[in-house]
Structure formats: structure tokens, C-alpha cells
């Protein structure tokens, strides 16, 4: 066994995370690199295509389809966007392929996508085949008048209107959670 002083032996340096120099940082800046790496594994050079899918393709298409991967051909003449949808929605989506391709290329800023491939899935089953494309509408919580009054009283001496409203909302959320728990 080699000792640390013998030639050819180098002890492993412990793994260090990059040091934060500015104190608190935005969550988006902390998760940006892992999200980019995960999306690049699926061929998405622009993670914006995944994160802003609804804005890019529109609500009508986003409700029935979601991007799965972008694959590049060996010739390099444009990529293929694979989109997941249910069997019942596939014919309707096939008619809108060109509109979908144009909108995605507008996101990239050039003609990156040459083809759109539609993959159908069953309503249930398979790990990739999760069908809930559209987000459920947010349920409005009933406002507790006592919590609201307490929050307004606590933030009453704040002169800035936007700050006071934000503090009132925060106070309502905190007070309503402590009652229900």
C-alpha cells in the first residue's frame, strides 16, 4: 500500500459546492443549471420551450399536447420535435402541426425544428404517458374575516401601498395556516 508521501498517490479532494458570495440568491439562479442540464439531455437547447410551453404554442395546443424531446438528425438539417398527446386528440393536433412548428421556431429565433412527430398515449399507465396536460384551476380559499382584520391591523402603519398589501397578504396566509394546523 502506498503512503501519501510515495510518488503516484494523490488523496482525493472533498467535493465542494460553489461558494455563494452575495448572501441570499434567487431560487431561479440556483436551479437554472440543473434544469438546463436535464432539458439538454432530452435535446432541448432552449429550456424556455419547456417552461413556457403554454405561452409559446397557445392554450388550445398546450391543453392537449406536451413536448417530450427534440432529436437531431445526423445530416443536421433541422430537428424533430416529439410531442405527446392522447389518442383522441392526435388527429386534431396533426392538422395543426405546421402552426405548432412555426410557433416553436419563433421561440428559437430560427428554423430549428423541421419536423413534428406526434406520439399518442393511453389516458392511464406508463411513466411517460401522464395525460394531465392542462393545469387544474386554482381553488379560491374562503377568506377568514378575523385573520384578514388581524393582518390589516398589523400592517396598518406601513405607508407604501404595495408593501402594505404584500404584508397583509403574507399575514393572512400565516394566520390562516396556524389556525388550520
Same domain, 106 and 152: no
For 5-56, what is each residue's pLDDT tens digit? 555 555 555 555 566 666 666 766 666 666 666 555 554 555 677 778 888 8
Q: Residues 6 or more apart from 117 whose CB is under 8 A from it?
A: 80, 81, 82, 83
C-alpha–C-alpha distance, residues 98 and 108, integer Å: 15
H/E stretch holding 83: strand 79-86
For 65-111, what is each residue's pLDDT tens digit? 888 888 877 766 778 888 988 888 889 999 999 999 999 888 878 88
Same domain, 110 and 165: no
Task: Quote the pTM value.
Answer: 0.48
Same domain, 45 and 114: yes
Give the CATH number for residue 34: 3.30.300
Domain span including residue 104: 27-121
Amino acid at each position: 500500500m502506498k503512503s501519501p508521501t510515495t510518488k503516484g498517490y494523490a488523496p482525493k479532494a472533498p467535493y465542494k459546492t460553489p461558494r455563494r458570495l452575495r448572501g441570499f440568491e434567487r431560487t431561479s439562479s440556483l436551479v437554472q443549471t440543473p434544469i438546463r442540464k436535464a432539458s439538454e439531455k432530452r435535446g432541448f437547447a432552449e429550456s424556455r420551450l419547456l417552461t413556457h410551453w403554454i405561452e409559446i404554442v397557445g392554450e388550445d395546443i398546450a391543453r392537449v399536447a406536451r413536448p417530450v424531446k427534440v432529436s437531431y438528425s445526423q445530416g443536421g438539417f433541422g430537428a424533430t420535435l416529439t410531442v405527446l398527446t392522447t389518442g383522441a386528440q392526435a388527429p386534431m393536433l396533426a392538422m395543426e402541426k405546421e402552426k405548432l412548428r412555426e410557433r416553436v421556431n419563433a421561440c428559437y429565433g430560427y428554423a430549428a425544428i423541421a419536423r413534428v412527430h406526434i406520439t399518442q398515449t393511453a389516458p392511464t399507465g406508463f411513466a411517460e404517458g401522464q395525460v394531465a396536460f392542462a393545469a387544474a384551476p386554482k381553488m379560491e380559499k374562503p377568506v377568514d374575516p378575523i385573520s384578514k382584520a388581524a393582518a390589516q391591523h398589523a400592517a396598518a402603519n406601513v405607508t407604501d401601498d404595495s408593501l402594505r398589501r404584500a404584508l397583509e397578504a403574507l399575514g393572512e396566509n400565516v394566520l390562516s395556516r396556524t389556525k388550520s394546523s
